């Protein structure tokens, strides 16, 4: 096996590892969405910790892919940005080229699905934060202050109290 084919084989294994990691991220994000929907704070927190660990793993696989792309670029005398799937497929046998294409396509689909789930999670979190803001505002607003007559006419002075600074 030539050096570039060896590198292409290692890149294919790296792509398969990336597919595994991104699938894990998608599964975790779906689990997080389900936990958000039932307002299970403990599960959301636990899943977030797993996501953080998986993101570190994702970074490692991407760093490894970058190193392999640089090796391929050196071997072919090209810039790393010019190393594409089609360039690698040209220097691979048919089964390896097919595996590269399959893994690359699967990774592309997973990234798209994950983007959609993350957007739903973000919307759900933003909605929950808005509800919390309304509740906190309602619990900390002093409604005992009456309307007064000020420099500009009738005005209402309702200062927000801080929960920790409120007098007992």
Q: What is the mean pLDDT of the chain?
A: 86
Tell me how far apart the alpha carbons of residues 29 and 121 are, in angstroms, rounded to a whole number.
8
Beta bridge partners of 155: 148
State the pTM of this model. 0.74
CATH number for the domain including 120? Answer: 1.20.58
Between 100 and 163, the higher pLDDT residue: 100
Q: Does residue 166 lie within any of the structural domains?
A: no
Q: How does residue 2 score in pLDDT terms, banded at 50, 70 and 90?
A: confident
Q: Is residue 160 part of a domain?
A: no
Residue 59 lies in a domain: yes
- Tokens, residue 101: 């294409």
Backbone angles phi, psi at 61, to 5 degrees: -70, -35
Answer yes or no: are the C-beta atoms of 50 and 30 closer than 8 Å: no
Q: Which residues of 27-61 are buried (b: 16+ CB within 10 A; e: fewer)?
A: ebbbbbbebbeeeeeeebeebeeebeebeeebeeb
Residue-wise pLDDT for 62-115, tens only, equals 999 999 999 999 999 999 899 998 899 888 899 999 999 999 999 999 999 999
Q: Does the pLDDT at position 8 exceed 50?
A: yes
Task: HSE, CB side, 13 Å, CA atoms: give it for residue 65.
Answer: 20
Q: Does the residue 15 lie in any domain?
A: yes
**Poorest-pLDDT segment among 116-120, 122-126, 137-141:** 137-141
Helix (H, G, I), strand (E, B) or coil at 144: coil
Q: Does the residue 119 lie in any domain?
A: yes
Residue 160 pLDDT: 47
Q: How many domains are contained in the chain?
A: 1
Predicted confidence (pLDDT) per residue in 129-154, tens digit: 888 888 887 777 766 655 555 566 55
Residues 6+ apart with CB under 8 A from 143: 158
115 located within any domain: yes
Residue 114 within a domain: yes
Tokens of 77: 């005398």
Q: Is residue 101 part of a domain?
A: yes
Q: How far apart are CA 155 and CA 136, in angstroms?
A: 23
Please identify which residue in the block is written with the tokens 């594409």: 84
Residue ranges of E strands in the chain: 147-150, 153-156
Q: Which two tokens stand for residue 17?
A: 């590892």
* Domain residue limits at 19: 3-143
CB of 160 closer than 8 Å to CB of 140: yes
């Amino acid at each position: 096996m030539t050096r570039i084919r060896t590198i292409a084989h290692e890149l294919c294994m790296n792509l398969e590892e990336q597919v595994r990691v991104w699938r894990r991220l998608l599964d975790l994000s779906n689990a997080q969405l389900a936990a958000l929907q039932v307002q299970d704070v403990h599960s959301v927190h636990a899943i977030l910790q797993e996501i953080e660990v998986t993101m570190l793993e994702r970074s490692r696989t991407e760093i490894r892919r970058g190193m392999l792309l640089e090796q391929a670029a050196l071997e072919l005398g090209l810039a790393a940005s010019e190393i594409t799937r089609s360039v690698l497929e040209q220097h691979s046998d048919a089964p390896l080229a097919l595996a590269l294409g399959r893994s690359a396509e699967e990774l592309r689909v997973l990234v798209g699905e994950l983007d959609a789930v993350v957007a739903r999670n973000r919307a759900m979190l933003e909605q929950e934060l808005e509800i919390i803001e309304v509740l906190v505002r309602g619990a900390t607003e002093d409604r005992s202050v009456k309307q007064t007559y000020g420099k500009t006419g009738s005005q209402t002075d309702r200062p927000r109290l801080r929960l920790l600074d409120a007098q007992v």
